[in-house]
């Protein structure tokens, strides 16, 4: 009898151990992306074009540029980050050796005076800004995703998503990045049809020109459904490009297949009105590999009635409920708001553990990671930002 009881207990113990092991190892979803445990969540930071100057990336000799890049990467790693989303395309430009697009004026002087970005960087800097960044990140074991604003040309002019040639232009950027750099993903920011300014319906002849031409439209009369339809044509197209293997000639230095994800605004209604069809992306295959809603509020948010609500929690729950395909979700977190005075969102001023609390919530509800906005805040002298980072580091060290 004792032997039988021991055998039953041992069997139960073994089953429990196997169950724990499976949960720790994680499972793989339909897109082939591993659902992670807490210790190896995707922990990212956006390095935006507006950071380039303050972080010492504008118009620097190679040695200085490398030194500053490594300083940024060290700060990111110290804060627990394992992925950096580098802003390669902010204004229909290129932070890489592109032979199609103009150079970024936030990386080198006279950027728009040359035929293309490659010529500009070779002449003005003598190196490939994105190439150097990717190389430095590799030595530190940090993944890099190419972060893009697909449509924005200037703050008042955008490529029109309705034009197939606007889409072709974005596809070209994706192809150049995939074929020439060892990146882990293509990442879109939340600029879709948010503006009522001019949209350029690109012509076939200028789709690969440095300065695209076409008809300017205001797009004021377009319905939300039409906006979503136009944007989804691009999103599904980029998804296919991201997962299409590149030629063997290019793969030695590039990436054969990469993830594709989008970081929409954290307000679902605003997303759907602006053409960011998060409902479709999270419920139908063939659009994205992951989603990164920018949930930039705390749980101490004051409503018009005067009462307070846990807005971060409620927005997170809303996006999770939309995620019918259980796509990995790396939630955008507003480190840049730490310490600010906001008459509605009082948590940023009142507490210094907002980010840590949000990361705990993401993990406890099954989320796979987060992305901090943005990199310059990792080096900020702000007491509140330093405290937020310190509290996050303590959490990740547990």
pLDDT tens, position by position, 169-197: 999 999 999 999 999 999 999 878 877 77
Residues 45-57 as b/e (b if ≥16 CB within 10 A, e otherwise) read bbbbbebbeebbb
Write down the pLDDT at residue 79: 96
For residue 14, is pLDDT > 60? no
Rounded to the nearest 5°, which phi and psi values hold at 302? -90, 125
Mean pLDDT (whole number) for 142-161: 95
Record the tokens describing residue 356, joined without a space: 């840590």
Task: For residue 37, name the pLDDT band (cuts at 50, 70, 90).
Answer: low
Mean pLDDT (whole number) for 199-212: 95
Is residue 294 within 8 Å of 373, Cβ to Cβ? Answer: yes
- In angstroms, rounded to a whole number, what is the distance separating the alpha carbons of residues 332 and 34? 20
Q: What is the dihedral of CA 253, 257, 259, 262, to 10 degrees?
A: 90
Mean pLDDT (whole number) for 267-281: 96
Write down the pLDDT at residue 229: 96
pTM over 0.85: yes
Is residue 83 within 8 Å of 145, Cβ to Cβ? Answer: yes
Write down the pLDDT at residue 315: 98
Write down the pLDDT at residue 351: 98
Write down the pLDDT at residue 8: 41
% residues pLDDT > 90 (the chain):
82
Task: For residue 247, name the pLDDT band (cuts at 50, 70, 90).
Answer: low
User: How does strand 83-89 pair with strand 42-47?
Assistant: parallel
Question: What would the pLDDT profile of 318-369 be if each residue is shown by its tens digit?
Answer: 999 999 999 999 999 999 999 999 999 999 999 999 999 999 999 999 999 9
Within 8 A by CB and 6+ apart from 206, the residues are: 165, 212, 213, 214
Write down the pLDDT at residue 252: 53
For residue 20, is pLDDT > 70? no
Domains and CATH numbers, the chain: 40-397 (3.20.20.80)
Write down the pLDDT at residue 19: 39
Mean pLDDT (whole number) for 114-137: 98
Burial of 220 (0-12, 13-18, 19+ CB in 10 A): exposed
For residue 7, is pLDDT > 50? no
Task: For residue 398, name the pLDDT band (cuts at 50, 70, 90).
Answer: confident
For residue 31, is pLDDT > 80? no
Write down the pLDDT at residue 92: 97
Is residue 230 within 8 Å of 158, Cβ to Cβ? Answer: no
- Per mean pLDDT, which range of 107-121, 251-265, 366-380 is the poorest? 251-265
Task: For residue 6, name the pLDDT band (cuts at 50, 70, 90).
Answer: very low
Q: Average pLDDT of the chain?
A: 90
Is residue 250 within 8 Å of 179, Cβ to Cβ? Answer: yes
Pick the more confident residue, 164 or 397.
164
Task: For residue 4, name the pLDDT band (cuts at 50, 70, 90).
Answer: very low
Question: What would the pLDDT profile of 59-86 be if each residue is shown by its tens digit?
Answer: 999 999 999 999 999 999 999 999 999 9
CA–chain centroid gap for 203, Å, is 29
For residue 26, is pLDDT > 70? no
Mean pLDDT (whole number) for 225-254: 84
Write down the pLDDT at residue 193: 86
Mean pLDDT (whole number) for 237-247: 89
For residue 12, is pLDDT > 60? no
């Amino acid at each position: 009898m004792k032997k039988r009881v021991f055998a039953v207990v041992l069997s139960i113990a073994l089953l429990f151990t196997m169950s724990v092991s499976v949960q720790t190892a994680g499972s793989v979803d339909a897109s082939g992306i591993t659902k992670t445990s807490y210790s190896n969540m995707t922990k990212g930071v956006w390095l935006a074009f507006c950071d380039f100057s303050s972080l010492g990336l504008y118009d620097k000799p190679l040695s200085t540029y490398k030194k500053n890049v490594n300083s940024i990467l060290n700060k990111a790693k110290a804060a627990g980050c394992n992925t950096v989303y580098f802003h390669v395309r902010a204004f229909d430009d290129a932070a890489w050796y592109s032979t199609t697009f103009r150079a970024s004026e936030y990386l080198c002087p006279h950027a728009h005076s040359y035929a293309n970005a490659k010529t500009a960087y070779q002449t003005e800097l003598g190196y490939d800004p994105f190439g150097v960044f990717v190389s430095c990140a590799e030595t530190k074991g940090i993944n890099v995703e190419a972060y893009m604003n697909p449509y924005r040309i200037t703050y008042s002019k955008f490529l029109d998503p309705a034009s197939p040639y606007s889409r072709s232009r974005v596809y070209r950027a994706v192809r150049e990045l995939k074929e020439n750099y060892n990146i882990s993903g293509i990442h879109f920011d939340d600029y879709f049809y948010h503006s009522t300014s001019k949209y350029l319906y690109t012509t076939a002849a200028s789709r690969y020109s440095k300065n695209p031409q076409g008809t300017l439209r205001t797009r004021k009369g377009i319905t939300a459904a039409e906006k979503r339809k136009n944007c989804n044509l691009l999103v599904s197209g980029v998804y296919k490009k991201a997962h299409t293997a590149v030629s063997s000639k290019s793969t030695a230095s590039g990436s054969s297949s990469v993830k594709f994800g989008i970081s929409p605004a954290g307000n679902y209604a605003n997303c759907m009105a602006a053409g960011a069809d998060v409902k479709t992306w999270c419920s139908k295959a063939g659009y994205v590999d992951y989603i990164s809603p920018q949930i930039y509020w705390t749980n101490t948010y004051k409503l018009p009635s005067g009462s307070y609500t846990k807005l971060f929690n409620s927005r997170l729950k809303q996006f999770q409920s939309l995620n019918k395909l259980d796509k990995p979700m790396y939630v955008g977190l507003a480190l840049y708001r730490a310490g600010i005075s906001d008459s509605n969102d009082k948590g940023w001023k009142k507490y210094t553990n907002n980010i840590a609390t949000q990361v705990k919530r993401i993990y406890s509800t099954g989320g796979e990671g987060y992305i901090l906005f943005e990199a310059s805040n990792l080096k900020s002298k702000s007491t509140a930002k330093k405290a937020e980072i310190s509290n996050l580091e303590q959490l990740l060290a547990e």
